[in-house]
Homo-oligomer: A and B are copies of this chain.
Amino acid sequence: MKNIVAVVLAGGEGKRFWPFSMYKSMVPFLGKPFLIHNLEMLKKVGLTQAIVVMPQNEGALSKIRVEGMDIKIATQSDTKGMGDAVLSAKKFIGTSSCLIMNATDVVEKTLYASIKDAMKNDEMFVVGKKVTEYFDVGYFKLEKDRVVAIIEKPGKGNEPSNLINLVFHYFPDPSVFFDAIAKTKSDKDNVYEQALSKILTQVTARVIPYDGYWQPLKYPWHVLDIMDYFLSKKCISHQGRNVEIKSNVVIEGAVYIEDNVRIFENTKIVGPCYIGRNTIIGNNNIIRHSHIGSGCVTGFNTDITRSYIGDNCWFHSNYIGDSVLEDNVSLGAGSVLANLRLDEGDIYSLVKGEKMNTKRNKLGTIIGRDVRIGVNTSIMPGVKIGKHSFICAGMIVDKDVPDDSFCVAESKYFLKHNTHIESSSRDAFKKRL
């Protein structure tokens, strides 16, 4: 069997992922970056060499380690596209075969098994995800189980098949593909796809049809989808070292508790949940179906439901529903991240200036790193808050807040002389207690 190298594309345009400043591939789930989870899947199917293409990032590099795997980093500017990304990896590949994939797609392990089988044949293949509704992406045109072309955005009703192109592309001899990329000139960000189309007219490629779960991490609310996947598939009941659980704490379902976590009285945790190292879950909390990073303090009387919380976040009597917070965010007492429209309709969010349907009827706030929110503030569903921002007390925030903002309510109030007050006895009230 030939030597096979995985090329894992971990760059990619980050603007749609705002207000996160972290790379999508570095978002941690269950204690390690998303990318590592995918590298581990590759290792399980026998690949021990990987080239990760990502923008230069010293901080990230040190975290990209998988026991028993030889991982090289090919750096690339994050604006240059997939074609350029693959070429950045070329120098590490030599004469090996090559499996190209995205770092930030989640698929089921059955697909990895199919890929493992397919790699035994010395033959190019691609993966086609079966779809039942129209997506505006590339569809495979097939002759039997052979792919003869990719039709980009064919338009509804003109789909050449029900299989769309997932980036799991296997090349026994990738040099042909590298040449095709190098020769492709395009001012659009589709050099990779054009080169692949060209190859398919020359090389026989098999399609692996795939009917399972697939979720790319594209918009920041997708963090919730990826979280759901990891929590439901990979989260087990676990209690790390030096965990302290006070009296009358109820833990239901699979809850993974890392080392040094402390959980205070009268709190309920409903799994699947992940609680990172050194995190303190305060008294009288409810934590449901959520992923909480390390070094957090949830404070008294907080409700965290179906949310992703980064590291070092602090709360106090908050409701955090269906929300995504990067690191080092704190909320003052009584602040609420609302997650449901009054009309219970789909929630929209601005992406690069355009209103986009998130296809969710429950979605809270998405908050970048280093944000401070005052007390009794209300943030409307789907709002995003840029990093390094302060949101003052008592605000009603109904639109996105840019990075580095100081945001304060116009609060007017009137003072007049108080003529109402008198010494009142409240003994009568006490009797009714």
A binding-site residues for B, Cβ under 8 Å: 246-248, 250, 264-266, 268, 280, 283-284, 286, 297, 300-301, 303, 312, 314, 316-317, 319, 321, 328, 332-334, 336, 338, 340, 342-345, 370, 372, 374-378, 380, 388-390, 392-398, 401-402, 404-424, 426, 429-430, 433
User: In the complex, are the beta carbons of A404 and B421 less than 8 A apart?
Assistant: yes
Question: How far does the Cβ of A334 sit from chain B's closest Cβ, in whole Å?
Answer: 5
User: In the complex, are the beta carbons of B303 and A333 less than 8 A apart?
Assistant: yes
Contacts of A392 in B (CB 8 A): 342, 396
Partner of A415, one of B286, B378, B406, B414: B406
Question: How far does the Cβ of A419 sit from chain B's closest Cβ, in whole Å?
Answer: 7
User: In the complex, are the beta carbons of B420 and A390 less than 8 A apart?
Assistant: yes
Contacts of A378 in B (CB 8 A): 334, 374-376, 393-394
User: In the complex, are the beta carbons of A286 and B283 less than 8 A apart?
Assistant: yes
User: In the complex, are the beta carbons of A393 and B394 less than 8 A apart?
Assistant: no
In the assembled complex, the Cα of A247 lies from the Cα of B251 at a distance in Å of 12
In chain B, what residue has the closest Cβ to A376?
B378
Given A338-B375, A430-B280, CB of A418 within 8 Å of CB of B406: yes
Contacts of A422 in B (CB 8 A): 343
Partner of A413, one of B284, B332, B395, B402: B395
In chain B, what residue has the closest Cβ to A413?
B409
Contacts of A372 in B (CB 8 A): 342-343, 421
In chain B, what residue has the closest Cβ to A402?
B415
* 10 cross-chain CB contacts under 8 A: A280-B430, A297-B430, A317-B319, A332-B340, A333-B336, A344-B426, A388-B418, A394-B395, A405-B417, A406-B415
In the assembled complex, the Cα of A418 lies from the Cα of B380 at a distance in Å of 19
Question: How far does the Cβ of A61 sit from chain B's closest Cβ, in whole Å?
Answer: 21
Partner of A404, one of B388, B389, B418: B418
In the assembled complex, the Cα of A312 lies from the Cα of B433 at a distance in Å of 15
In chain B, what residue has the closest Cβ to A249?
B265
Centre residue among A316, A372, A377, A378 by max chain B CB count within 10 A:
A378
Known pairs A266-B268, A372-B421; list 6 more (Cβ under 8 Å): A284-B284, A389-B421, A390-B421, A406-B418, A407-B415, A409-B413
The 6 A-B pairs with the shortest beta carbon distances in the complex, nearest first, are A394-B396, A319-B333, A343-B420, A406-B418, A410-B412, A342-B372
Given A338-B375, A378-B376, CB of A406 within 8 Å of CB of B410: no
In the assembled complex, the Cα of A433 lies from the Cα of B303 at a distance in Å of 13
User: In the complex, are the beta carbons of B268 and A388 less than 8 A apart?
Assistant: no
In the assembled complex, the Cα of A284 lies from the Cα of B267 at a distance in Å of 9
Contacts of A433 in B (CB 8 A): 280, 297
In chain B, what residue has the closest Cβ to A306?
B432
Question: How far does the Cβ of A346 sit from chain B's closest Cβ, in whole Å?
Answer: 13
In the assembled complex, the Cα of A389 lies from the Cα of B414 at a distance in Å of 13
In chain B, what residue has the closest Cβ to A405?
B415
Contacts of A377 in B (CB 8 A): 376
In chain B, what residue has the closest Cβ to A247?
B250
Given A280-B430, A286-B300, A430-B297, CB of A417 within 8 Å of CB of B396: no
Contacts of A410 in B (CB 8 A): 412-414
In the assembled complex, the Cα of A397 lies from the Cα of B334 at a distance in Å of 15
User: In the complex, are the beta carbons of B404 and A417 less than 8 A apart?
Assistant: yes
User: In the complex, are the beta carbons of A406 and B411 less than 8 A apart?
Assistant: no
In the assembled complex, the Cα of A354 lies from the Cα of B304 at a distance in Å of 42
In the assembled complex, the Cα of A376 lies from the Cα of B264 at a distance in Å of 26
In the assembled complex, the Cα of A333 lies from the Cα of B333 at a distance in Å of 13
Contacts of A416 in B (CB 8 A): 405-406, 408
Centre residue among A247, A300, A423 by max chain B CB count within 10 A:
A300
Given A376-B378, A407-B413, A417-B406, CB of A303 within 8 Å of CB of B300: yes
Partner of A388, one of B374, B393, B421: B421
Contacts of A393 in B (CB 8 A): 336, 338, 378, 380, 396
Question: How far does the Cβ of A291 sit from chain B's closest Cβ, in whole Å?
Answer: 17
